Structure 1
């Protein structure tokens, strides 16, 4: 095959290669390592914000381009020898080149995968601390499993000229615009000039909705006309409704969910547009206003789950233990079944349908071709285009046994973490193997979708096979903390109001070393009807002392202390003990 069979590849990717260009330079390490750490920290912090701060790979590429060119100018061309060895390296071996730029970009952008979310979810939602060693091993194993699986399908989805990955094509255009000095046509612009003009225009346009006029993010004309109508808000709101008649002038808003229309193939854009119209403008409104699934009791669009009283579902009420986080069927039956909003019901339904429909779609349209390529790839009889031949000619391939070793060792590590360390992860070995089997089944399908149509699967929060060990999505811990000269004391909150409290020592107690009566004042009588929980915070390192003067008492919480039957000596500082109302004591002692 003389050239690529894909037109976009032929027009974008050069059919030449210079194997003499240096890649692993001193610049890559001194700039790439700090940026990799910084990118990781920023992404992790930003992922917990309600307004997610996203640093695009293109922004990093532009920063790297300027930073590395600056280093290429200021670093001396000096060879440094490593003491005690024959190794040496140059501080500035060559000018900054496109391969070095791409390698550094891959290096910095490789930190985007959220492998730590499981650890954070356990702490935020269930206040369950996982020891740092199993937590670290779990993150490492989940991250490296991806490299192992990637190697299994490398020849089919990377070497194949028909898998052209549109997102990568867009990045190649950027690298060529920055590094290639093409001649400017008479009366026209060079690629480099055109890029920076467009960059300046996009920056000037984007700063308007970002800082100066944020309302252009969603212009909801229906809501403006009928501003007091709930139905109009549900129909016209671009944030909490169907968005009928609502437009956005913010490019980030338009591309945040489906990606840039400049990259997506036209057939993928129209498929998504038709699907959105059918679901958002026909199925969801019909289901909501016909009160299917008791939809009228809940918001039209929301990712929250609710109980039968239209309140946000309190997951802790259906958990049996604060250490194993086990589902309690009896508590669930007494509390309420889970209710979803209409939008969330169909969102989950179509996500699950996407997995099954992708199997039938790819089998019918690409099945024979994929099976043929699988057989040819592993017989080393692959059909390469000019780019594949250049790679094979100029560079050694990664040995396949490397990927097998990574995959098998990481599966073993994952099983060790789940079965050992006192069962903190609460997964069995067969569940790990089942998860890997599902990846092996669906990864080729996702690769096909993303390689030809930029359409990967949405991330589905898979629950383990043990249905009595639930998992949840990210959330926010609203626990409050206070300090009083390191004396141990208790803060009582009902709702968002903090009560004045007082502590009285009565007699010694074998469980807590002191028999303590805890009380609170300044509490309106109707608070217990508005809020279902009283939050008692144990703060400080010492036991209660006689000089704790925290106000007068009207509400005695001693019955709660007696009901808990908790090992008080084992409680840590900042432990949250959540109680239900006086008539129905309920406790969960957890570390905040």
Structure 2
């Protein structure tokens, strides 16, 4: 399918992607390439099965890089100025090191030829499984810091391993639906594919035409130089809140135009800020960005201001946007004053008073409820026939050229994944039963069941839009009703339910990358397992703690029950359940119109990263996305297909190396930029006060 045909099938000007990827039927009869233009332009439709993969070079570099990444990220996680190294750094460093090892090692079993692209991919994927600080570590952190408990190394290790690896078993089932079908694009993987190809492949170039490698080097170096401006020299350009500058003393302007508040009109010239929470806008399809933009505007810039300035739930006593916990009078809530042995004391609670949160925080919970229930309805309406057909067809024939090429390699047996899934579930049960997590065995099984139930609908959204709605809210909600007053039980259940799903999709995304790069599935299996195990052995606490209080200590019955001022939030479950239905029938009635692109779960999940994300992050993310995924894609399609994903990788690379150098030279030594007006991160001084409120509201 040509780019021109893809853009103009509907004759519309609003959105240029007729192929709503989630509904694309993949039939390859004439062209042996992917029917998705971006995939066809980036991913090679050839393979060499003779290339060695699990070489000595892979084992050495895979282990060392995984240990380095896991240790550094976990270590820096607890510093005052945290820094995260991504697998992109390993991807770049592994290339020259691999080339060097191939040059100096003696030829033979240790050095079976030139360092090849498949070794490089497998090293990166191994490190990718180890890059994130294990979510279960937060349980240990809040136990020690906030609740004065410590169950010891073995308990922590078993919990970390079970939550990190349990999702691996689910990935084996998800292959049939989220890896094999060509329509499941996983946009973020195309950035990595573009970078691998840039480093390893030669191009046939016209006279005067830049190669992707040259373009990558120039773009990465340029971003490296530029990143010093917002990152160190001139931080104010990270969030230019120009509306506040009109009158810095105005509380209302600070609330409306401040970067820590509603962020209307705030401009960010910092790439790291733009991609901080929503990933790169250069890789997310424009139709998905439009849905996210609609959800963001309706929620953050319409619902929240109306709720705040109408004083819904005493909104004016608290900040416009905050994830902090408050008392009724607007002061901070001290949880220790209502606990006895880390379990809610009813008498102390009655004396101290109920918990309050910002209206924005309450609304984001409600929208989260709606987004979750909408995924169930949406998946049933749009995907039920396709999923059944995919299950039947997965063992019978290939979907596209990439799946056909992968038939050259033996697949991983299902029982390998099943063994991991059931084995890690048993480990989690043992950990929670032996140590006093206050979480009985049936609750562990319920958490795993919730994760398994939602992983496919969430995976469908992520595979198409690069956005992953979370299960953190619903898991907290469910166990909060079943086991109220137990903070550690609540966050443990949440971790088992939420992170098992998130890890399953991380593994599935990596399987898709291996699918694109033609990595033998069994090599992928052992590489992923090794990277994840290393991450568990190298052992966002503020919001995590707040959640443990809201859902665990206070519990949903008091927080959102019939007697709570936030009771109406529960109706969002029903809203999400029914909202996709009218749009489904409207799409059928008005097919081949802009209605084809409305995706209710994406709209409702738009603000899932708020907090900690702020509104101005969304505004700038969508603005950059419009430039590349709409304007450049429509009017410069050749450039878009050739360079957009390379540019995204280059910008990430430049920022990453600037961050490393800045940390080594300045941050680690507590050296700061000489103070001047441009070194401030926000020029709205009133906004820095978390308790600002309109002058009409008397102070508590």
Alignment pair present for 1:5 and 2:17: no
Whole-angstrom CA distance in 1 between matches of 2:329 and 2:64: 50
Residue 474 of structure 1 aligns with which residue? 541
Q: What is the aligned counterpart of 1:279 among 296, 299, 310?
A: 299
Instruction: State the partner residue of 1:105.
Output: 124
Structure 2 residue 64 is matched with structure 1 residue 44: no
Moved more, 222-231 or 464-473: 464-473
Q: Distance in 2 between matches of 1:7 and 1:367?
A: 26
Partner residue in 2 for 1:536? none
**Which residue does 1:231 correspond to in 2?**
252
Instruction: Name the CA distance, whole Å, in 2 between partners of 1:319 and 1:417.
Output: 24
Q: Map 1:347-496 to 2 at 5 A.
A: 347-377=364-394, 380-392=395-407, 394-421=408-435, 424-458=436-470, 460=472, 462-463=475-476, 464=479, 465-471=482-488, 474-475=541-542
Alpha-carbon separation, structure 1, partners of 2:268 and 2:77: 24
If the length of structure 2 is used for normalisation, what is the TM-score?
0.63
Q: Per the alignment, do residues 256 and 399 of structure 1 end up closer, same or farther by CA in structure 2, a change over 3 Å counting? A: same
Match of 2:25 in 1: none
1:195 maps to 216
Q: d(CA) in 1 for partners of 2:149 and 2:343?
A: 12
Task: Indicate the residue corresponding to 2:343 in structure 1.
Answer: 326
Q: CA deviation at 1:409?
A: 1.1
Aligned length: 457
Change (3 A) 1:229 1:49: farther
What's the offset of the Cα at 1:116? 2.2
| Change beyond 3 A, Cα 1:448–1:439 | same
Q: CA, structure 1 residues 466+476, in 2 after alignment: closer, same or farther (shift >3 Å)?
A: closer
- Name the residue aligned to 1:304: 324
Which TM-score applies when normalising by structure 1?
0.74
User: Any conservation in 2 of the 1:124–1:476 contact (CA below 8 Å)?
Assistant: no
How many angstroms does 1:376 deviate by? 3.1
Higher helix share: 2
Matched residue SS, 1:183? coil
> What SS class does the counterpart of residue 102 from structure 2 fall into?
helix
Structure 1 gap ranges (5+): 80-88, 478-592
Please state whether the residue corresponding to 1:77 is helix, strand or coil: coil
Q: Say if 1:236 and 1:246, in contact at 8 Å, map to a contact too.
A: yes
Distance 1:263 1:56 in 2: 17
Q: Does 1:19 align with 2:49?
A: yes
Partner of 1:65: 95
In the TM superposition, what is the alpha-carbon distance from 1:126 to its structure 2 partner? 0.8
**How far, CA to CA, are the matches of 1:355 and 1:49 in structure 2?**
34
Secondary structure of the residue that 1:204 maps to in structure 2? helix
Aligned to 1:96: 115
Partner of 2:310: 290
1:151-230 map, 5 Å: 151-230=172-251
Of 265, 269, 280, 2:289 maps to 269
Name the residue aligned to 1:502.
Answer: none
In the alignment, is the contact (CA less than 8 A) between 1:77 and 1:93 conserved in 2? no
1:137 Cα offset (Å): 0.9
Deviations 1:74-129 (CA, angstroms, capped at 9, x unpaired): x23155xxxxxxxxx41x22211110110000111111242322222222221211
- In 2: Cα distance, 1:415 partner to 1:292 partner: 42
Offset, 1:32: 2.5
Q: Distance in 2 between matches of 1:428 and 1:259?
A: 37
Deviates more, 1:458-467 or 1:150-159: 458-467
- The Cα of 1:58 is off from its aligned counterpart by 2.3
Contact kept? 2:398, 2:404, Cα under 8 Å: no
Which residue of structure 2 aligns with residue 494 of structure 1? none
Displacement of 1:51: 4.7
Deviation at 1:3, TM superposition (A): 2.9
Whole-angstrom distance in 2 between the partners of 1:335 and 1:115? 31
More strand by share: 1
Q: What's the offset of the Cα at 1:156? A: 1.9
Shift of 1:401: 0.6
Cα 1:452/1:21, change in 2 over 3 Å:
same
How far apart are residue 179 of structure 1 and its match? 0.5
The alpha-carbon deviation at position 146 of structure 1 amounts to 0.9
Query: What is the distance in 2 between the residues matched to 1:97 and 1:400?
Result: 29
In structure 2, the CA distance between the partners of 1:47 and 1:280, relative to structure 1 (3 Å rule), is same
Deviation sequence 1:386-418 (CA, Å, 0-9, x none): 1111111x2110011111111111111111111
Between the aligned partners of 1:408 and 1:469, the Cα distance in structure 2 is: 26
Take 1:297 and 1:220, find their aligned partners in 2: how far apart are those partners? 24
Equivalent-residue separation in structure 2 for 1:195 and 1:41 (angstroms):
29
Relative CO higher for 1 or 2, CA cutoff 8 Å, sep ≥ 6?
2
Does the 8 Å contact 2:86/2:128 carry over to 1? no
Q: Does 1:128 align with 2:149?
A: yes
Note the aligned Cα RMSD (angstroms). Answer: 1.9
Matched with 1:315 is 335
| Helix, strand or coil at the partner of 1:313 | coil
Q: Distance in 2 between matches of 1:51 and 1:248?
A: 21
Matched residue of 1:247: which SS? coil
- Judge conservation of contact 1:134–1:417 (CA < 8 Å) in 2: yes
Q: Which residue of 1 aligns with 2:357?
A: 340
Establish whether residue 259 from structure 1 lines up as the match of residue 279 from structure 2.
yes
**Change in CA separation of 1:210 and 1:160 when aligned onto 2, cut-off 3 Å:** same
Residue pair 2:107, 2:113 contacting (<8 A) in 1 also: no
Does the CA contact (< 8 Å) of 1:122 and 1:128 recur in 2?
yes
1:141 to 141, 162, 186: 162
Question: How many Å separate the matches in 1 of 2:330 and 2:406?
Answer: 60
Aligned mates of 2:470, 2:349 — CA distance in 1? 29
Alpha-carbon distance between aligned partners in 2 of 1:47 and 1:134, rounded to the nearest angstrom: 21
TM-aligned CA deviation for residue 447 of structure 1: 0.9
Counterpart-to-counterpart distance in 2, 1:187 and 1:396:
44
- 2-structure distance, mates of 1:50, 1:364: 47
**Could you tell me how far 1:215 is from its partner in structure 2?**
0.9
The CA deviation at 1:252 is 1.1
Which runs of 5 or more structure 2 residues have no equivalent in the other structure?
1-27, 492-539, 545-700
